Chain A
Amino acid sequence: MNAYYQFVAEVFFVMFILLTLIGSWLAVNARILMHSVLGLAVSLLGVAGLYFYLGSMFLTMMQILIYMGAVCIVLVFGIMVGYTPNESADKHELSRNMMLGLVTSGVAAFLLIVVAIGKTTWTQAVQTTGNFSIEWLGKSLLLEYCLAFELISVVLLIAIVGAIILARGGREEEI
């Protein structure tokens, strides 16, 4: 019975990895801009699934809430205003030189990775690396890493102020 559950869990793990990979491939390669953004959303969903496997349900939910529910929606909103469904980018034709370059760089990267993998001494992953409850997260963010947390909020504040300045300038020019 346990082996059966193990199998199901592994199938889901592989599915999340495939989601991440396929999504990122789509994000880079799609000819319709909307498909790229949706590919990005799928890829982020896959990453959320990987967080779930690392044992943090909270981080999973935050990934979905922030990256899918906010970032991707703003991107989609921007694209919606500018593009209609029948506009698509031109297909990129690969010339012979580019093909050769791709093959050489691919082989070189593969060899490098093979050498790197051979040289590294691998340590086995720990079963559970710590207690990732919300209490722990809150305490470490607000007590231990307080300065980093506050600095990030300052960055966000600057982004908001910048957005307001950009938007105001645009409106005044029109009038």
Chain B
Amino acid sequence: MEQIIKFIQTYSLLRMLLAFCCLIGIIFANAIVMGYLERKIAARIQRRWGPMEVGLQGWLQMILDGVKILSKQLIVPKDANRFLFRLAPLLCFTPVAMVFVALPISRSLYGINLNIGLIYIIAMGSINVFSILIAGWSSNNKYSLFGAMRSVAQNIAYEVPILLSLLAVVLTTSTFDLQEIVKAQSGPIWFVLYPNLFVAFVIYLIAGCAETNRAPFDLPEAESELTAGYHTEYSGFAFGLFAIAEYGNLFIMASIATIMFLGGWNGPFGFLSGPVMGAIWFLSKVFILMLTMMWVRWTYPRVRFDQLMNLAWKYLIPFSLVNLLITALVVKII
């Protein structure tokens, strides 16, 4: 045992590899748990039972679905661009895994601590749009193409309010370092309780909902119009990777909201925010946010495309700009 510890301590590259494998495991586990919760909550809201057959309350359902998906073949359509068609799922999954490295889950539980952690996460998030575009185009299918085009228009529009609302927090703390931002909230007041940052938080939640392509903004994969949007042609584990990346993106969105506005790994009033309890606080906040997003998803109908664009360009962006100005004034005066 001692020898193994010494071995790992000397070979820190190996340690990195081990941590990366753990992160991949967390992403997959997150997708399984979230998939199960989504189906159960959807069923609860629609007054039906949801998965009930396998295991108590059907809790094994998602694992069995995963096994089924692994055993299926990836069929490449005849007219598709074979290389790009196979590349897209990988390109979708990789940035998600790379972002997880930089998330400060607790005081001492994180992959790397960058002094520009926020910019890193946003930069990696922008690669995600690429994979959607490539998937939609290379399938050579009208539904996929329309899904991808809607997705890119939506992502470009909603990236602006997300950046502006996060910038308000950056102005308040004057750092991009995620750990520093969390530490700045270790007092009794989290950033969400400041009036100007509360507005930023609401804008961030709405825009984040659109950025992760979830209902009521799920136009890129609107089932009734586009079958499944950009991943219509995908089967087997390639489809699975898209689903996992989608839940991974949801987790990232919720954890950025937690870090920037809800105090990260700080307990309420700085109560019990050590390395272990911090992780528990962090994960519970993230899961509460994600459950709220699910609740919204199954409660509101899908918006129309012009409504979607109007919301971004006419309301969210001007509001976040004004909010940023007010934040700058507040920071300058106080």
Contacts and interface: CB of A to CB of B under 8 A. Distances in A.
Interface of A: 1, 8, 32, 34-35, 38, 41, 57-58, 61-62, 64-65, 68-70, 72-73, 76-77, 79-81, 84-86, 133-134
Q: Chain B binding site: helix, strand, loop or mixed by DSSP?
A: helix
Interface string B100-123: 000000000000001110011011
Given A76-B133, A80-B136, A85 B126 contact: no
B81 A85 contact: yes
Nearest to A57: B116
Interface of B: 10, 13, 79-81, 84, 114-116, 119-120, 122-124, 126-127, 129-130, 133-134, 136-138, 140, 145, 148-149, 152, 156, 176
By Cβ-Cβ distance, the 4 closest A-B pairs, closest first, are: A69-B126, A85-B81, A65-B123, A64-B123
Nearest to A41: B130
B226 to A, nearest CB: 15
Contact of A58 (B119, B122, B138, B152): B119
Given A77-B149, A80-B145, A80-B149, A86 B79 contact: yes
Given A64-B123, A76-B130, A85 B10 contact: no
Q: Chain A binding site: helix, strand, loop or mixed by DSSP?
A: helix
Contacts of B120: 57, 61
B17 to A, nearest CB: 12
Given A57-B120, A85-B84, A86-B79, 15 more contacts: A8-B13, A34-B134, A35-B84, A58-B116, A61-B120, A62-B123, A65-B123, A69-B126, A73-B129, A76-B130, A80-B148, A81-B149, A84-B79, A85-B79, A85-B138
A73 B133 contact: yes
A56 to B, nearest CB: 10
Contacts of A69: 123, 126-127, 129
